[in-house]
Chains A and B, each alone.
Chain A
């Protein structure tokens, strides 16, 4: 199977008041299609920076980043926006939905930026919401939905453009345990149906949903191993 993502000696340095912070300090990483990876590490280890880097929100200070053969580290803002739009689906800890828009509208937004016609957009958005089990809540706004439902809207939004990779940053961090289990079940199902998923988490039991676990420490990969995978159990 070809490499989906390849990071070669990626560095990301920030200049904070004259002091250089090495958020990423030479990360090598390859991710193949349909992998299920967790990224772990203490705070300040560079998890978020790596996540932003893979998600094409950030560009490396040094190193080579290839995404499906495209050289991300050479891209300008517009190309990065386009690759985020077409190939990456984000799921955030705080959901990051547009508060004043309905669930359907939220899911529709990425398709707007993909210049899809309105009819196709609504059709696809509805399909994605049905896939995460929110058929009945499509026309509700985020403040009318529970945390678990909001995260499912976010997952639908991440999925709607058929991305190459789903990036989930602490997807269960703001949820009660029952909703957390539901969300992990959805992610597991997505993986089973062929999606590539990267989970950022500091919870061991969440990380164990993945097949492969990467531990970061001080901006470097300290450990990269297979996990004792647990399948989410039906309750």
Chain B
């Protein structure tokens, strides 16, 4: 017990001495600190940024919902292999007829839904027009589900709206702000490319994601959409929802089989379409962030190594500069261990303090990315912890040799040193 309290007080004294000597060499300590800080900053900054991206992407992916997958002509994230892109471009588009046939023949899914989007500027109500091109969504009676939103006012599309391609539209709140600043839009008539559409509903406001408004759109029945907005590039996305998680794989197998049948893919050839699931999107994204993490990780390791060498260098200089002091301390009773712990503590303190500064800057910098992308901020506690652990390791690892040199100086020689 007495020994423990002695140890505690000797650590406290080493710590006090370390702070004293750091205060006495402010510039030098600051520069050393900076090395560590930058190293830690780069790790924490990148990790915070990736964490924010991840959380925002995950929340975006919820749009697809659980137990759903989508069949598209092209993959969600294109990977340009040799000739890969060309192969995808040469595929047949997915048409409304494909969708109708899928919907008719599929037996397992809870729902089969279709969706596409394009841009259009020529939209007006009386004398009010849009200055910026708005998103036009072609959707079916599952429009709100596809958009991952709710109605604020009015009603959704009915199956009849879709079947008979009625001239109706659901507006995003940003469109309402511009075209109907002082009016109730429901029942009014909006002109899109010169043709009248009756406003039947308005969605709730969702705000921005990645710096873009999610509320600047008009949704119209997909049947109408393919008549009015189809181009030679238009290829629809068909979304399937399984009845349950257990049925998910079967539902997907059926959808793939039917799709091959409908598109007349010969036996033995690969699919001329992509099946995109939540899981797959997450995996693709994880592969992408994993690459960044690995890169940032290795850069940071190098940065921290350089910082560690910096600490070692500074500590060696510090030992040389303070040979006389070490001699005095030894003459008045400092043991090797006293000197060792004094210098080691100084190195650890420098690296720890640098680490704290780096973590703070890194979290701030990473969250700045979050603010810029308009996504919620995060604090990667685990990485902050690793950062600090690595700093202690650096402090001890690179501080031990200079401290050892200091501890083993000869007291008589050191006292004589000028």
Q: A115: CB under 8 A from chain B?
A: yes
Shortest beta-carbon distance from B293 to chain A in Å: 45
Given A58-B412, A101-B20: A85 touches B6 (CB 8 Å cut-off):
no
In the assembled complex, the Cα of A114 lies from the Cα of B337 at a distance in Å of 13
Partner of B334, one of A52, A58, A96, A113: A113
Task: Indicate if the CB atoms of B328 and A98 lie closer than 8 Å.
Answer: yes
Task: Indicate if the CB atoms of A84 and B336 lie closer than 8 Å.
Answer: no
Task: Indicate if the CB atoms of B331 and A113 lie closer than 8 Å.
Answer: no
| B interface, over-half SS | helix
In the assembled complex, the Cα of A117 lies from the Cα of B13 at a distance in Å of 10
Task: Indicate if the CB atoms of B20 and A100 lie closer than 8 Å.
Answer: yes
Residue numbers in A under 8 Å from B331 (CB-CB): 55, 57, 84, 90, 96
Partner of B332, one of A52, A84, A100: A84
Q: B116: CB under 8 A from chain A?
A: no
Shortest beta-carbon distance from A157 to chain B in Å: 7
| Closest B residue by C-beta to A110 | B332
- Chain A stretch 67-98: residues in CB contact (< 8 A) with chain B: 77-78, 81-82, 84-86, 90, 92, 96-98
Shortest beta-carbon distance from B149 to chain A in Å: 65
Task: Indicate if the CB atoms of A96 and B328 lie closer than 8 Å.
Answer: yes
Task: Indicate if the CB atoms of B10 and A90 lie closer than 8 Å.
Answer: no
We find that the number of chain A residues with CB closer than 8 angstroms to chain B is 27
Residue numbers in A under 8 Å from B330 (CB-CB): 57, 81, 84
Q: B333: CB under 8 A from chain A?
A: yes
Shortest beta-carbon distance from A230 to chain B in Å: 30
Q: How many A-B residue pairs have CB under 8 A?
A: 62
Q: B325: CB under 8 A from chain A?
A: yes
Residue numbers in B under 8 Å from A98 (CB-CB): 325, 328-329
| Closest A residue by C-beta to B2 | A115
Partner of A82, one of B10, B328, B335: B335
Q: A184: CB under 8 A from chain B?
A: no
Residue numbers in A under 8 Å from B338 (CB-CB): 81, 113
Task: Indicate if the CB atoms of A84 and B333 lie closer than 8 Å.
Answer: yes
Given A92-B415, A115-B6: A109 touches B329 (CB 8 Å cut-off):
yes
Q: A112: CB under 8 A from chain B?
A: yes
Q: B297: CB under 8 A from chain A?
A: no
Residue numbers in A under 8 Å from B332 (CB-CB): 84-85, 90, 109-110, 113, 157
Q: B9: CB under 8 A from chain A?
A: yes
Q: B411: CB under 8 A from chain A?
A: yes
Residue numbers in B under 8 Å from A90 (CB-CB): 331-332
Shortest beta-carbon distance from A162 to chain B in Å: 13
Task: Indicate if the CB atoms of A82 and B20 lie closer than 8 Å.
Answer: no
Residue numbers in A under 8 Å from B415 (CB-CB): 57, 92, 96
Residue numbers in B under 8 Å from A81 (CB-CB): 330, 333-336, 338
In the assembled complex, the Cα of A58 lies from the Cα of B332 at a distance in Å of 14
Residue numbers in A under 8 Å from B328 (CB-CB): 96-98
Leading 9 A-B pairs by shortest Cβ distance: A85-B333, A113-B333, A81-B335, A110-B332, A100-B24, A96-B328, A78-B335, A84-B333, A57-B411
Sample (6) of A-B pairs whose CB atoms are under 8 Å apart: A58-B412, A78-B335, A81-B334, A98-B329, A100-B20, A113-B338
Which residues of chain B have a CB within 8 Å of any CB of chain A?
A: 6, 9-10, 13, 20, 24, 324-325, 327-338, 411-412, 415
Which residues of chain A have a CB within 8 Å of any CB of chain B?
A: 52, 55, 57-58, 77-78, 81-82, 84-86, 90, 92, 96-98, 100-101, 109-110, 112-115, 117, 157, 161
